[in-house]
Amino acid sequence: MKPYVVGFDLGGTNLKGAVLDKNQEVLDTFFCPDENGKTIRDMNRFDWKRLMNRHLSLLRETYGDLPSAIGVCSAGIPLRDYSVIGHMPQRLTEIQGLNWAELLEYSGNTYVINDAKAAFIAELQDPALCDVKNIMMLTLGTGVGGAMKVDGHILEGEIGRAGHLGNISVDADGPLALTGIPGGLDNLVGNCQLAERTHGLYTDYITLERDYVAKNPVATEYWLRMIKQLAVGIASLVNVLDPEIVIIGGGIANAGENLFTPLQSYLDLYEWRPYGKGVKIIRAKGGDFSGAIGTTLFVSKKIW
């Protein structure tokens, strides 16, 4: 039997997984689709259990035993011992306080980690980034997540709130975010509130981007407004954290130059650049599985 750990990424839409061995080698990545086509948001904990246990059985057949430990990343704030998500308002509320070992009927160690922080850990494995002391990441998907390393340390904060970059305000008169702050970046950029922001015209950013590329004037207004608000948020965070590099990940980053070109143009207007030095914006390399891979890396350091 080859010892390994598994990490599950419980996103708002899909469940994904990754397998890591003791030598820090990624052995496998996989999607865990629901046969009925339901998203994670539409499921309950017993649906999650069914999907996870199905893949744990497959892993046992492949590797000769269950994993040495299991990790789960999701939105929310973990307790300090990383045993459960201690706080998760409004979205995926069923995950709050959920004991994964009990749910999965698994006798080994289980750990949880914030999903954006897990993706950030995976990105920092890049040799070009691992030694950068000041760097932050924004994940743009169902909502907006984030994580940052300042002076060489990934910030956690007093109770684990540090890194929830999507909960900064970019509009004091905007709608209330799930944390209660008005005009949160999460609400103004994340896919979850897209239908509300576009008055029902768009429910997913892929269709919005398609119409933007087709030069639809309404889509162009909505798309560029979203990117402008993202740029204002990034410029504000740069003034606080002073990173050398900002990584942009999540599903919306798949828009490529349709996102990054106007984003850079807005940053040219709003970013404070002492000595003529601006922050470097890069696209995340981890793709769909960065959260799951980062989770396995986090878990491996806990047990090996």
Q: What is the pLDDT of residues 206-221, one digit of tens each?
A: 999 999 999 999 999 9
Measured between alpha carbons, how far is 304 from 299 in angstroms, rounded to an integer? 9
> Whole-angstrom Cα distance, residue 204 to residue 181?
24
The DSSP bridge pattern shows strands 245-249 and 280-283 to be parallel
Residue 54 is predicted with a pLDDT of: 95
- CA 37, 41, 42, 44 dihedral sign is positive
Q: Is the distance from CB of 93 to CB of 40 less than 8 angstroms?
A: no
**pLDDT tens, position by position, 31-84:** 998 888 888 888 899 999 999 999 999 999 999 999 999 999 998 999 999 999
Residue 27, token pair as written in the block = 């052995």
pLDDT value of position 257: 98
Q: Please state which CATH number belongs to domain 131-284.
A: 3.30.420.40
Q: In the chain, which residues have pLDDT < 70?
A: 90
Structure-derived torsion over alpha carbons of residues 69, 303, 148, 13, reported in degrees to the nearest 10: 0
Q: Is 101 exposed, middle or buried (0-12, 13-18, 19+ CB in 10 A)?
A: middle
> Which residues are within 8 A (CB) of 176 and not within 5 positions of it... i.e. 6 or more apart?
182, 184, 187
Helix (H) or strand (E) holding 264: helix 257-270
Give every CB contact of residue 146 below 8 A, 6+ residues apart in sequence.
116, 120, 136, 137, 138, 139, 163, 164, 165, 166
Q: How many CA atoms within 13 Å lie on the side-chain side of 48?
A: 30
DSSP string, 208-223: HHHHHHTT-HHHHHHH
Q: In this structure, what are the phi and psi dihedrals at residue 14, rounded to the nearest 5 degrees?
A: -120, 160
With residue 56 as reference, give the H or E element that holds it.
helix 45-63
Ordered by start, the domain boundaries in the chain are: 4-119+288-303, 131-284
The predicted pLDDT at position 14 comes to 86
Q: What pLDDT, on a 0 to 100 scale, did the predictor assign at position 92? A: 74
CATH superfamily, domain 4-119+288-303, is ATPase, nucleotide binding domain (3.30.420.40)
